[in-house]
């Protein structure tokens, strides 16, 4: 989704903004632009394409001087990706300039009104409507920029993170937030604005995350004032010290962020359970769960809401919670849940799962569940994100920044934390025996080393990728705990290589997908030792009789599947409930290598966004 960056201070704004936009590329975008104030005038350049295209164009078009500027990466919603629709946008007078992440839903009616008052529009965007609405308020009521932004935003329905400046008041940037994230970095006498802290982490560790319906007036060399947009009340700024460091957001010798993040999984999983699982003592402690234990124990059911890969982690959790803690679980796409008038009661617990903590549909599902009296528990990776703030309690995954658009370590760390919760509840409810509980803890502690073992198969997986890279369709099959892994494997391939892939429960194959099988169809079958193994083996036989190409993901030492399959990838033995943490790794590597071999943009696949802040 769109990324925004801004700077006001004593340094040259251009290099800071340009580098910042590059850091936000992971969010997914199709065009980019920058506006700078050089002491006299606004200089603006924008283009369809990538930040490197902008860089090449901008340096020919305008001077890059100035200590104030704003920049934007646009992920098209209203209006196709082209130069004109790219941000920043001017107001009609040319005095005001804006960048915006989000959607102004009532822009059509506002535009009609503004047209009646003589305003003209260059682009098809909702954003150009907003900047002219601000200008209109300024003109009619003789107001300063900050006040005009506030009044205009009170007329707006939708979501936004905006930054605006006025060439007649070049010591000031006004920012505001509702629904889309906005962080302000605070240096000595300088301020940074961005969709997340990555663009300014090397300049300052102090940041303020604006809350929804807050705006800030940021003055060069002075202070910043935060106000509530609705009632104008002043808000005390809460300055956080960031834990993020530069190394975490750079590639560290890997060709792509995705590969780096795949390899980070042993440590990320360990970081997720570190301090929360004390194996020798047999203790799991998660503050968010302990503080609300009564609610968890009295819950009629758990409803999991999430999108994309996080939804797949939710499906794995359904098996773990029901299996170990005997709590009924429903897993819902947040986008469906929020609009289908679901039955939710005060005895329901809603667990929302989100890497970014910003997914608009998941956020809306949480708000709906809360309004019906449910207790909402959030699982997020990004500290301080909107979902983390909106939920009643929660647990962070501590996976570290995930930059590659295709989620990898977020998935395995989400499963890790969900497993800890299920085990803790199972223990409290007495639905797990002491020996089984202990075994789970011991096995979970060994998972990082076993993931490392799977990563050693990379060269073998690459050789399989070489054979199948030009195939147009793939099937992924799994049963039980590994059915969601099949879905996730298929999603990874689709996302980054644009090859059509479908995930299915292995036994469902007979009800449709089997018709697709011939000698050209590769089928990835997850056949772990304790996962209804014989049943899966007979599914493999059905595929073999139809000449499908079989790639088996099996437990080390497997004999039967080896005989039937064209290729096998081995993973170390573990409990079936923990096996998704291992079986998912070869599928990530397979997708990665196919995409690289096909020359695709692995970290920023076309049309996709890392954090989907619009519905």
Residues that bind ligand G6P (CB under 6 A): 307-310, 354-356, 359, 362, 405-407, 608-612
CA distances from 20 to 27, 68, 90, 249, 502 (A): 12, 14, 22, 12, 37
* Cα gap 200→7, rounded to integer Å: 9
Structure token digits, residue 294? 């009564």
Q: Are 135 and 92 in contact (CB under 8 A)?
A: yes
Least distance in angstroms from the C-beta of 417 to ligand G6P? 13
Angle of the 580-597 helix axis to the 483-497 helix axis, nearest 10: 20
* Cα gap 309→315, rounded to integer Å: 10
Least distance in angstroms from the C-beta of 367 to ligand G6P? 15
Catalytic residue among 46, 48, 177, 610: 610
The answer to whether the Cα torsion of 559, 564, 569, 574 is positive or negative is: negative
Residue with tokens 């099959």: 477
Least distance in angstroms from the C-beta of 613 to ligand G6P? 10
Give me the residues paired with residue 494 across strands: none
The answer to whether the Cα torsion of 260, 615, 493, 86 is positive or negative is: negative
Least distance in angstroms from the C-beta of 571 to ligand G6P? 23
Give me the residues paired with residue 226 across strands: 216, 235
Q: Are 561 and 539 in contact (CB under 8 A)?
A: no
Least distance in angstroms from the C-beta of 99 to ligand G6P? 22
Judged by beta carbon, residue 5 or residue 612, the one nearer ligand G6P is: 612
* Cα gap 366→372, rounded to integer Å: 10
Residue with tokens 């090449």: 56
The answer to whether the Cα torsion of 270, 272, 276, 277 is positive or negative is: negative
CA 388 vs. chain centroid, Å, equals: 13
The residue whose Cβ lies closest to ligand G6P is 308
Least distance in angstroms from the C-beta of 237 to ligand G6P? 26
Least distance in angstroms from the C-beta of 378 to ligand G6P? 11
Judged by beta carbon, residue 203 or residue 333, the one nearer ligand G6P is: 333
CA distances from 139 to 92, 114, 167, 406 (A): 12, 13, 15, 46
Active site residue 380: no
Judged by beta carbon, residue 403 or residue 527, the one nearer ligand G6P is: 403
Active site residue 610: yes
Which of 189, 198, 102, 86 is CA-nearest to residue 153? 102
Judged by beta carbon, residue 380 or residue 454, the one nearer ligand G6P is: 380
Residue with tokens 């019906």: 372
Least distance in angstroms from the C-beta of 152 to ligand G6P? 30
Judged by beta carbon, residue 170 or residue 314, the one nearer ligand G6P is: 314
Catalytic residue among 2, 43, 111, 307: 2
Least distance in angstroms from the C-beta of 303 to ligand G6P? 16
Structure token digits, residue 236? 């005390």
* Cα gap 142→349, rounded to integer Å: 50
Judged by beta carbon, residue 265 or residue 362, the one nearer ligand G6P is: 362
Judged by beta carbon, residue 226 or residue 612, the one nearer ligand G6P is: 612
Q: Where are the beta strands (DSSP E) in 38-168?
A: 42-48, 68-74, 89-90, 96-104, 158-166
Judged by beta carbon, residue 131 or residue 316, the one nearer ligand G6P is: 316
Judged by beta carbon, residue 1 or residue 537, the one nearer ligand G6P is: 1
Q: Are 553 and 571 in contact (CB under 8 A)?
A: yes
* Cα gap 95→75, rounded to integer Å: 25
Catalytic positions, written as ranges: 2, 610
């Amino acid at each position: 989704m769109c990324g925004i960056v801004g700077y006001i201070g004593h340094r040259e704004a251009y290099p800071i903004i340009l580098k910042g936009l590059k850091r936000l590329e992971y969010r997914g975008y199709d065009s980019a632009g920058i506006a700078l104030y050089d002491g006299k005038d606004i200089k603006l350049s924008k283009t369809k394409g990538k930040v490197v295209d902008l860089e090449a164009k901008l340096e020919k078009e305008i001077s890059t001087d100035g200590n104030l500027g704003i920049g934007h990466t646009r992920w098209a919603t209203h209006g196709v990706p082209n130069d004109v629709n790219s941000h920043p946008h001017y107001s009609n007078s040319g005095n005001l300039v804006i960048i915006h992440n989000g959607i102004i839903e009532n822009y059509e009616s506002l535009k009609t009104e503004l047209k009646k008052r003589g305003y003209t529009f260059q682009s098809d965007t909702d954003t150009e409507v907003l900047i002219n609405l601000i200008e209109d308020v300024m003109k009619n009521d003789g107001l300063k920029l900050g006040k005009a932004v506030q009044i205009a935003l009170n007329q707006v329905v939708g979501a936004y993170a905006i930054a605006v400046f006025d060439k007649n008041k070049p010591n000031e940037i006004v920012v505001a937030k509702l629904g889309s994230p906005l962080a302000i970095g605070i240096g000595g006498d300088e301020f940074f604005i961005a969709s997340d802290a990555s663009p300014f982490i090397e300049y300052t560790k102090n940041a303020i995350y604006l809350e929804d319906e807050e705006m800030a007036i940021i003055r060069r060399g002075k202070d910043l004032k935060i106000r509530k947009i609705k009632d104008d009340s002043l808000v005390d700024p809460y300055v956080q010290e960031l834990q993020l460091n530069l190394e975490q957001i750079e590639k560290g010798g890997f060709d792509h962020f995705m590969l780096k993040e795949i390899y980070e999984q042993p440590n990320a999983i360990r970081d997720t359970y570190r301090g929360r699982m004390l194996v020798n003592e047999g203790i799991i402690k998660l503050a968010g769960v302990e503080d609300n234990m009564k609610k968890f124990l009295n819950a009629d059911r758990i409803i999991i809401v999430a999108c994309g890969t996080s939804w797949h982690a939710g499906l794995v959790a359904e098996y773990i919670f029901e299996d170990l803690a005997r709590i009924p679980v429903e897993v819902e796409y947040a986008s469906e849940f929020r609009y289908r008038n679901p039955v939710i009661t005060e005895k329901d617990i809603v667990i929302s799962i989100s890497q970014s903590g910003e997914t608009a549909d998941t956020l809306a599902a949480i708000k709906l569940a809360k309004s019906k009296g449910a207790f909402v528990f959030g699982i997020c990776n990004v500290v301080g994100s909107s979902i983390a703030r909106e939920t009643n309690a929660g647990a962070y995954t501590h996976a570290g920044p995930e930059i590659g658009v295709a989620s990898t370590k977020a998935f395995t760390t989400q499963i890790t934390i969900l497993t800890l919760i299920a085990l803790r509840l199972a223990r409290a409810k007495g639905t797990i025996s002491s020996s089984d509980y202990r075994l789970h803890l011991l096995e979970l502690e060994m998972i990082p080393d076993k993931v490392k073992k799977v990563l050693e198969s990379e060269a073998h997986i690459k050789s399989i990728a070489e054979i199948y890279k030009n195939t147009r369709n793939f099937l992924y099959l799994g049963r039980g705990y590994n059915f969601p892994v099949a879905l996730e494997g298929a999603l990874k391939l689709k996302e980054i290589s644009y090859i059509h892939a479908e995930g299915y429960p292995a036994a469902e194959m007979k009800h449709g997908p089997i018709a697709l099988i011939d000698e050209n169809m590769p089928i990835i079958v997850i056949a772990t030792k304790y996962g209804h193994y014989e049943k899966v083996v007979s599914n493999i036989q059905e595929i073999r009789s139809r000449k499908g190409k079989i790639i088996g993901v099996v437990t080390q030492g497997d004999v039967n599947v080896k005989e039937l399959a064209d290729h096998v990838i081995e993973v170390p033995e573990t409990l079936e409930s923990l096996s998704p943490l291992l079986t998912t790794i070869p599928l990530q590597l397979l997708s990665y290598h196919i995409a690289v071999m096909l020359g695709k943009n692995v970290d920023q696949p076309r049309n996709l966004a890392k954090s989907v802040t619009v519905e």
